[in-house]
Structure formats: structure tokens, C-alpha cells
Structure 1
């Protein structure tokens, strides 16, 4: 590759990076991630200023983020442009730190710092409220479940580290092959083969081994039948319903669909996120009606609802209603409502669902971005692992973990649920605001990584789709078409083993961060010694 200004190569890297994410139903471009950063890395071999490195790096990240999450423009163009700009700026320190090390010890040595640095920095970003992990590198490989079975060891962080290492090895091979004046292709091809074979064979071999080992266990694992109700109600439709007539609307939308499958005797019914746009615990008419139908069905129900505190603030919550609770509530005095088991969403979309640091500086709430004309702010739930316990048709007690929409991008919280005893996972989502964009394809694909890393079956219920199931190997099944009123019924395997990732969800990324810091310190010490020697 001819050395030149890094801008054109940054644009190419950003294009390849963005296209590698799962956005298409038939076209799989995930292999682009294996070498997407090679053009930009090679452009930094020659004399490049700090300004060129920072500007070109930010350009690559902005283009990549914009392409990977282009569906944000469907939600609202201003929101999308804001997210692209902020998130690429938050990722830029990875490339700047690499460039700093490159100036200390040279391009070839600095490349080895990049894989742990990238992995550790992404992990750090999940621990602060400004960043959204929608375009984290590891998620680009979500649909290639055969290659990413090692998520049960290191989570999505292991995929990111593997991808960056792949890029580093190819960049080094390209640079070595380009040193001669002629015959570059002849020198490059054997090097690329020597890199690709072990880099693909190792994860593929582990995947083959784990799939072969776990399939017999899944065949013998205890199972329950779950019904996922997809009412096909868009975002605005629910907002427009008044509280007074919502019981009737709810019956038309989800009660009808649920009653159509009760004869099949599911062990659990799941409704999507924000099925009820108001607080069940305070709206007695809706709560009583809900308890009545659950008692009649004799099937536990998980559903999403909103706990509104005032005109601007609310909790995005999930609720479990069991037949046992319904029968118990029937005998209570009217002025003593039953205590409901509630989970409140903990991971919130910055500037859309919550404004970072607004709890300390309330004036910051003015920065909230409107979504579909609404600017309600969601409060963060308590950081506790909330499991839902229910009994199946045989009377056996089962435990389910619940995640709400965007929380699939925060696997550590799910790992805590599984470590606390969740035998399967449910994800409820409101995908109506995304329209017919690729957003729901991405979020559904990301659920694969959650299932693999925790080795738990997953049931995803979305109001407009995609509604589907994933087994502990990340294989999807039982999906129903988007934008149709449908019910997906599936048999779900229950698990009790804890993967290495579930036991130690932060071990690998923290170790990567430590390795990157150590590498940078060694580079600084080496530079100091060289300066003193001269």
C-alpha cells in the first residue's frame, strides 16, 4: 500500500468497519472486520503528525459508527448524528494512545499494544454513562456463532481482542511484504495464509468441540414451553391510548393473542417491553384485570410496563404475575394491593432515556434528545440481580432472568443474573421506534453472544419483532415475521452450569487493560533509556 496522507485510508477503514456489523438478512460481511483497520494502520507507518493521527482516526470511527448504526437516523436524524459524533470521540483515545506508543517505540512494536488496549478501553466505556456499545467491535461477529463459542470463556471482549489481533498481524505481514521493490504479492500471500489458518482454526476448533459436547446435554436438559406474544403495536399507538380505555385496547392487542395459545399449555407467557404505558401498581383497574386473566389462564406472565413518577420521569420496568399471586390477591382487602415482583431497567441509552450526571446537576435534563416527540427521562433501577421465580405446569420452581432491550449490550449484568441462579433468559424489547430499519436485526443478533457467553437459552419478545428464541449455542429458532401480530411458541432448555465468563465476567478485559498499561509504561521506560544513552 502506497504511503500517503492517512485520510483516504481512514475513510476506507471506517467503511469496512461499519459494513462488518450484522445489518443484512442475506449478505454476511462479517469477515471485513478481520482486516478493516489495516489501511489506517499502514498509513501510520510514515511521518504523521498528531493532528493527522487524531483527525483521521476520528474520521474512521465516525464513518464506521455511522454505517454500523445508521438505523439511528430512522429514529431521528439529529439523534443519529449526535450519537455518531459523541461515540466516535469516546473511542478515539484508543487510537491516540496507540499513536503515542508508536512515537515511543516505533510502529511495529506499538502494534502489540493495540489488541489489549482496544479491549480494555471498550470495557471501561461500559462502566460510565456516556457511551453506548452498539458499535463495539466484538458485536460485528454476532451471527457467526460457530466461530465465537469461546465467548463462554471471555465474553464479547475476547472477540474484540481476537479481531484487533487479526488486523495487527495482517498489517505487519503487509508491511513486511512491501519492503521489497518487486514481487509483493508473492511474498504477501504465504504470510496471509500463515496468519489466517491459526486465527480461524483455533476458534473454529473450540466451537466444534463445544457444540459437540453441549448438544447431547441440551437434548437431555429439563425444558419448559414459552409463548412470546408479538402484538405488532408501534410506539405511537401505545402512547396515544388513555388509561381509562387501555384495558379494552390491551385485550384487543395482547389478550386475544395470548388466549389463542393457552390451549397449548405454555409454562410461561411473555409480553414485550412497555406493554402497559403506565404503572400497574397504582392503576387498580388494570392491575385487577391483569390478575384476573392470569388466574383464568393459570400460566405465569412476564410483561413490560412503565412506572411514571411525574410528567417527565419514569422507570422502564418488567413485572412477573403468577397464578399463585393472583389467587392470593383475590383474598386481600381492597385497600391492601399485593406486592408485585418488579425489575427496573438499569442500563439506559445516554441522552435519549437518561442524561448523564443529571441526578447531580438537574439542569442537564434540558439536553435530553426527543424520541418520536417524547422527552421522558427514565430513572436507573437499583443495581441488583432480580430473578423471577415461577412454577411450570408440573409445579417445579423455575428461575428466569429479564433484560430490557438495550441491556443485551451489557453482558456483565446478565452474568450476575445467571450466577444468581437464572436458568434461562428473557429479553423484552420495544422496537417500534426503529421502524423497518436494520436495528432489530442487530439487536436480535447481539442476543446470540449473550446466550453463548452465559450458556443459557434466551427468549426475545419484541412488540413489532424480531421475536425469537436462541439456544445456549447461539442458534436462533422459532422466529415469527416482523410487523405482524404473531405468537412464537418454543421449547426452551434450562441450564444450571456456570461458564467461566459468568464466574469472572470482568477478568479478561481487566487483564487486557492491565497489559496495555504495562506495555505503554515499558515503551516509556525504553524511550527514556534511549534518550539518556544518546
Structure 2
């Protein structure tokens, strides 16, 4: 038992070392799950009782270590809702993902009992992908630790994400680990030389072919020349001082000065970070809002330019007109949004409302069932349960016809969501974020690295404005062409190439996890049916 726990811990540590933002260790992804597979095999081959429970508990230890070491910074991002609430909520990403991962391993064991090792391992991959897809789709979504994200540092290896998205990376990781595992256990099972040779050849092909295709694509890829001048601003305002301490007028003045310092007459977009305009704006009266007018005055000398900025917005209703509106103590209802706002030299204003909210900090998971907790969060001053999401992505269009995908912070982890916007006509991606909540931790670096994968999937430039850093420009191959330092006041300027071509992934989205999830459901149904018939047979024998 101790040996298996040690193997599980070893897996967790290897996966952590392989994870962004650590450079040069990505190769450990191909080996990190092997000790975990060996631990499960040892339990399966043992004579002990309750093997399923042992597998679940053993794997859970390693997965908790991996997840906690990689996303330890989550607690920092939740402190804004109060330490009493932040502490228990931060446990969710540390343990919920591992619980689902261990459940996939337990299902593998159950399937292995009913079939054989080969079918069981195929089922394991499907169960794992099913867990990953569930974890990006339900109210407790946290797809940060999707295995395919692990290649974000070594983006040159996964240029084929333009066809598969990050789930292609998940399959690649599991395929390599399983083949390493089969080769290793073959040594103790007196595997035939012929079978061992087949496995070694298979492993070589699994590693070399995707890598060769990717590197060839990386070094041969050429962008179509279609330039647009973009400026991103990084005001470096402490997030805890944004609201109430520093006047909003002064914050906007800082942003306009930074933007003005690099602006050209042909600048198409000035991109400002999430909640750059922190005081809530009534969307129905935006044209008379003082902060909107302040931005318009800045734009007077840049006639074709747009300011794409983050802000807090809302809409009031005299009566309940939709299911998302919340009641106001003084009467009436409102929808409150975390918003991207596009402002230009006309009366046209475009809004996009953040659609992927951080569970706990920005949304109340399973709100219909846990509605009674809303007053608790309101009393603590948190935003939980108050933000209304937008059900479909948007594209902002400039006066000159350029389409841009507005992406707010957490949205950027969803490849298919970004791809949907690109499919609607977007020619580049603008990520606006406020990573200052995480402080100087690896969270901000991981968030930047993951943006490289969105560039590859869509073959679009990513222009990233982060309040305290790291702001950056990322080209269509996923290279960070420019980036700022952390916690500095600065601006960056870049001529990017617009692109209107549609990649396979943009056209078809997350077809891999959807297929894997269907197979996982079929696998679970098979196990339930087998269990049902076994129970009936046993009842007849005993009866």
C-alpha cells in the first residue's frame, strides 16, 4: 500500500514539474502518469479486498498534489470576497478536479474487471476526457488543469491544435503514458519480444509523428500580410485600490496618457484591461455617462480608432422582464455585468458580457438549488451570484470593418468559446484581464501561456491587456512577440496581421471531447447493465 501511495505521489510531482510556467520540463507529461498506472496495476493484481476504493484513494493523493502545487494561487484570487468565504471555496479547485480524476480511474478499474486491460485503458482515456469536458461545462467549471494545457510553454510541439484543440494534447499525453506503462510491465510479465517491439515502435510513432508534423508546421507557417496597429495599456493599478481609493477619472486619465504615448494616426484599437472603468455604467444611458465622454474626448484626434475596455455595467428594469434579473432593495430589478465595451468616434457603443464566470468569486454554482446562499454573499460584499452572463460570444466591429473577439479573463481558457466568436468574423483576439488579484504567483504566467494556445487554435493574433501584467502580443504561431514586465505602468504597440481564414478547429470546435464523453457515457451504461444482470443472477441463485 505504501509503495502505491509513493508511486502516486511521484506522479503528482512529475506532472507538477511538467506544468506551465516551468520551462524545459514539458517532456515529463509523457511519463508523469506512468507511476500512477503502475500503482493501479499493483492494486488490481493484488489479493487485497476493496480494490476499487484503494485505487480511488491512491490516485486521489497524487492528483491533489499535482493540482494544489499548480494552482496554489487560487486563494489569492478569492480574497476579495472575504477570507472566511475564500478559504473553503479555494479548496474546491484543489480537490474537486482530483475527485473527478480519481473517479475516472475507478471507472477504469470497473471496466477492466468486465473486459480486459486493452479495453480498460481505452475506456480510461474516454473517462478522463469525459471528466475534462464536464469540468469545463458545469457550474463548477475549472478547466485550468486540462492535460492539453500542459503544452502551453512548449507551444511549438502542438501546432496541430488548429485541428484538435487542447483535447488533442490530452489524448497525446495519455497515449504516450499508456505505451510507456505497457512496455515497462511487459518486462515483468515476460512479454514476447515481438509484442514488445510493436509497443516500442508504436510509442516512437506516437511521440515522433505529432512532434514532426507540429515542428514542420511551425517553421513553415507564414502569416498573410494584413497589418493593423494596436496599442495595449497596462495601468498597474492595485486591484484593491481600484474601487473607492483612486478616482475613476484619474484611472482613465492614466490609461489615456499611456495610450497616447504610443499612438499613431493609423492606430485601430486601444485595448484597456478588465474593469478599467470600475464605476458601474448604465448601458441604456451610456452616451451621457461622464467616463464614456472622457474616453470619447481622448479619441477625437484618432478618428478611426476604437477603445476596447473593460468595465462594470448594468441594466435596470421596472418589472421582472427576464430570468436573469435580480431584485433591488429600493424596488425594481437589474442585470449586472462584467463587460467589454467598444467605444468609437460615433454614437455606436458595443457591449460584450463576460460569459465564463469564476465559481465562488463571480458566480454561485447551481444557483437554483443554492439560492438561499445569495444573501450570505451579498452580506459579505462579494459579487457571487450577481453577474449575468451572455449566452453566446460576440464580435466587435470597428468603423473600418475589423472584427475582434473580446475575451474577458476567465473566458480565455475556453478554446471552443473563442473559436465560436472567430467563426462569426473575428480577425484577431483581444484578451482583457486583471491578474493582480493573484499577486506575483505562477497564476499570471499560466494565464498568459494558455493564451498562446488560443492563437494556435484560431490562427489569430492575441492582444492582451492586463491591469498589472503580463500584457503581451502573441502571433498566429503562438509566439509571444512582445510582453510587459509584472507590476509596471506601461503600454505596448504592435502591427499585427489580421486573418479571416477559418481553421478546422474553429469550424468544428470540441468534437474530440464530445465524442469521448459519448463513449464514456456508453462505458458507464455498460457497467451499470453488467452490474444489474449480475445482481439478478445472484438473486436467482440465492433464491
Aligned to 1:113: 123
Give the conservation status (yes or no) of the 8 Å contact 1:142–1:445: yes
Determine helix, strand or coil for the equivalent of 1:386.
coil
Supply the distance in 1 between the matched residues of 2:357 and 2:58 (Cα, whole angstroms): 30
TM-superposed CA distance for 1:188, in Å, is 12
- Among 95, 100, 106, the alignment partner of 1:90 is 100
The answer to whether structure 1 residue 452 and structure 2 residue 452 are counterparts is no
Residues 43/259 of structure 1: CA separation in 2 closer, same or farther (3 Å cut)? same
Q: TM-score, normalization: structure 1?
A: 0.86
Determine helix, strand or coil for the equivalent of 1:302.
strand
Deviates more, 1:65-74 or 1:36-45: 65-74
Residues 432/187 of structure 1: CA separation in 2 closer, same or farther (3 Å cut)? farther
Aligned to 1:6: 4
TM-superposed CA distance for 1:154, in Å, is 1.1
The 5-angstrom pairing of residues 214-229 of structure 1 reads: 214-215=221-222, 218=223, 220-229=224-233
Give the root-mean-square deviation of aligned CA atoms.
3.2
Give the conservation status (yes or no) of the 8 Å contact 2:186–2:196: no
Residues 378/295 of structure 1: CA separation in 2 closer, same or farther (3 Å cut)? farther
Supply the distance in 1 between the matched residues of 2:151 and 2:202 (Cα, whole angstroms): 19
Give the conservation status (yes or no) of the 8 Å contact 1:13–1:36: yes
The 5-angstrom pairing of residues 282-297 of structure 1 reads: 282=285, 284-297=289-302
1:158-192 superposed Cα distances (whole Å, 9 cap, x missing partner)? 111111111111111111012259xx9x9999788
1:404-431 superposed Cα distances (whole Å, 9 cap, x missing partner)? 1111111111111011110111100001
1:194-216 superposed Cα distances (whole Å, 9 cap, x missing partner)? 4553122211222133235531x
Determine helix, strand or coil for the equivalent of 1:44.
helix
Residues 468/271 of structure 1: CA separation in 2 closer, same or farther (3 Å cut)? same
The answer to whether structure 1 residue 200 and structure 2 residue 204 are counterparts is no
The 5-angstrom pairing of residues 340-351 of structure 1 reads: 340-351=349-360
Determine helix, strand or coil for the equivalent of 1:498.
coil
Deviates more, 1:375-384 or 1:473-482: 375-384
TM-superposed CA distance for 1:527, in Å, is 9.8
Give the conservation status (yes or no) of the 8 Å contact 2:336–2:388: no
- Among 50, 67, 70, the alignment partner of 1:68 is 70
Q: Which runs of 5+ in 1 are unaligned?
A: 330-338
Residues 230/171 of structure 1: CA separation in 2 closer, same or farther (3 Å cut)? same
TM-superposed CA distance for 1:503, in Å, is 1.0
- Among 400, 410, 413, the alignment partner of 1:409 is 413
Give the conservation status (yes or no) of the 8 Å contact 1:104–1:524: no
Determine helix, strand or coil for the equivalent of 1:127.
coil
TM-superposed CA distance for 1:223, in Å, is 1.4
Aligned to 1:247: 249
Supply the distance in 2 between the matched residues of 1:367 and 1:119 (Cα, whole angstroms): 35
Task: Give aligned pairs, total.
Answer: 502
Q: Which runs of 5+ in 2 are unaligned?
A: 80-85, 316-327, 538-543
- Among 154, 178, 181, the alignment partner of 2:164 is 154
Determine helix, strand or coil for the equivalent of 1:303.
strand
Supply the distance in 1 between the matched residues of 2:157 and 2:128 (Cα, whole angstroms): 20
Give the conservation status (yes or no) of the 8 Å contact 2:176–2:207: no
Supply the distance in 1 between the matched residues of 2:142 and 2:423 (Cα, whole angstroms): 25
Residues 368/107 of structure 1: CA separation in 2 closer, same or farther (3 Å cut)? farther
Give the conservation status (yes or no) of the 8 Å contact 2:299–2:344: yes
Give the conservation status (yes or no) of the 8 Å contact 1:355–1:368: no
TM-superposed CA distance for 1:290, in Å, is 1.8
TM-superposed CA distance for 1:4, in Å, is 6.1
Deviates more, 1:311-320 or 1:263-272: 311-320
Aligned to 1:333: none
1:242-291 superposed Cα distances (whole Å, 9 cap, x missing partner)? 6xx4213421x212111111246422110000101122345722122222
Residues 104/119 of structure 1: CA separation in 2 closer, same or farther (3 Å cut)? same
Structure 1 runs (4+) deviating above 4 angstroms are 186-193, 308-313, 366-371, 373-378, 517-532
Residues 51/228 of structure 1: CA separation in 2 closer, same or farther (3 Å cut)? same
